[in-house]
Structures are given as C-alpha cells and as structure tokens.
Amino acid sequence: MSIKKLSIVIPAYNEAKTIHHILNKVAAVQLIAGIQKEVIVVNDCSTDDTAVVLSDYSAAHPDMGLQLFHHEVNKGKGAALHTGIKKATGDVLVIQDADLEYDPNEFNVLLKPITDGFADVVFGSRFMGGKPHRILFFWHSIGNKFLTFLSNMLTNLNLTDMETCYKMFRTEMIQALDLQEKRFGFEPEVTAKIARIPGVRIYEVGISYYGRTFEEGKKIGWKDGFRAIYCILKYNVKKALKYLLLLVIAAAIVVGGYVGIMAWAIL
C-alpha cells in the first residue's frame, strides 16, 4: 500500500492556551517519503476561546488547509475523535492531543513500521525506549499499567501502554469499526476492537512524553479510570466471562479440596 496522506485528528476542549502551539508543531513536521498532511481539528464545544483561536489560526495559515469542525454541545473526547475519524481522507490516521504532552515530530517514528510494510496499527508507548518523560503522578502510572495489564489479558496483546494518545491506524481499518465510547473509554474500546481484526499487525514504538499537571490543564481523573475498567470488560466480554468461569472453577476446586481434606481429617 502506497502511503500518500496522513490524517492528523486533533480533539480539542478548552485548549485556547496551547492549540496554536501544537498546530505550529504539526505544520513544521516534514513527513517521510513525501507523505502529505491532512489536519482535522474537532472543537468539542469549548467554553474558552478555543473556537476563536482556531478560526484566527486558520485564516492566518491558509496553506495549511486546516479543517475545523465544531460540536454544538460538549460530547467528550471520544465523540470528537469519532467526528474526526469520519472526516479523514488520508491513507493513514493518527490521533494528536491538543495540548503539548505529545510531540508531533515523532509522527515519523510511528509511520515507519507502516511505510516499511510491517504494521497496520502502531501504538506510541510512553513506557519504553530512552526518550524524555516528565516525572509526574505515581498513582497515575500504576493505574495506567493496571489498565494495560487488564486489557492485554483479555485481548492477548503485549502492549506496554494501552492508554497512550498516540495511536496510528490504516484509515480504512479504523473507519470500519463501530466505535461507541464518547469520553476517555475510547482507548480501551478501540484497542479491543482492533485486536479482533483477523490478521491485524500491531506494533509499538517508544515516544517521549511531556505530561501536564491538573493545574496546567490535565482533564482525566479517577472516574475515567473506573470507566476504562468497565470498557475493557465490556468490549472483551467473551474473554472476561471465560476468565470469570475459570476463576469460579478454580475457586470451587480449592474449596472442594479444602472441604475434602477437612472431612478426611475428621474421619
């Protein structure tokens, strides 16, 4: 497959302070193999000046061909991604957050396994490789690793970072999925559904991570973590039930053995 265009989907909610910086970074990236860029920004009914900043930026950079879409009500990051994914016309699609946590200069790192003909999907892992990572929240890192472990157990993948923003897909592959999650449940849902595609080739590459604090605008919280667990189980329900059944059988065997031993000891 010849890769001619990369669609860059950017969901944005109240990112007036950073959105122009990330667009500058995206514009500056020179993609490998002469690949062109299609930049799609979905403003999820921001309550700050995000819409104004985007409009001004588009007018000041007409050569960028920026495609802007606006939700009239706030629907969530997942819903914004659904809109962007539907509008994409590139051969390959990547998700880019509107903040400055992920560096667009690493698009080429994600692209290489695809352009080399090895991969259909590439995850950018914050937990592998020797690139810079901002040191932030201990319990967030534990939560991320637990969610990745639970997802891996049910999808039979061996990812190191399921919750990463940087996921790159062959566009026709992700557009064929029936995606439902409106908020941060997008990550476990898309991972579960991609993993079920027959013959899919999933790769992982190390990326840098410039994380934000809550004071700097980070939005994900503990409630989203519980939703992620629910989504992992929901979208891997057959595997989840299988493991639950095995757990019940194992518990029954242990309890039965214990009762048998106690009965033998008494008699």
pLDDT for position 167:
98
pLDDT for position 34:
94
* Contacting residues for 133 by C-beta, under 8 A, at least 6 apart: 126, 208, 209, 211
pLDDT for position 1:
65
pLDDT for position 23:
98
| Grouped pLDDT means (10 residues each) for the chain, 267 residues | 93 95 97 96 97 97 95 96 98 95 96 97 91 73 90 95 96 98 93 97 95 61 80 83 61 68 67
pLDDT for position 204:
98
pLDDT for position 262:
65
Structure tokens at 245: 């059944």
pLDDT for position 222:
62
* Contacting residues for 76 by C-beta, under 8 A, at least 6 apart: 44, 182, 183, 184
pLDDT for position 213:
62
Name the class of domain 5-235: alpha beta
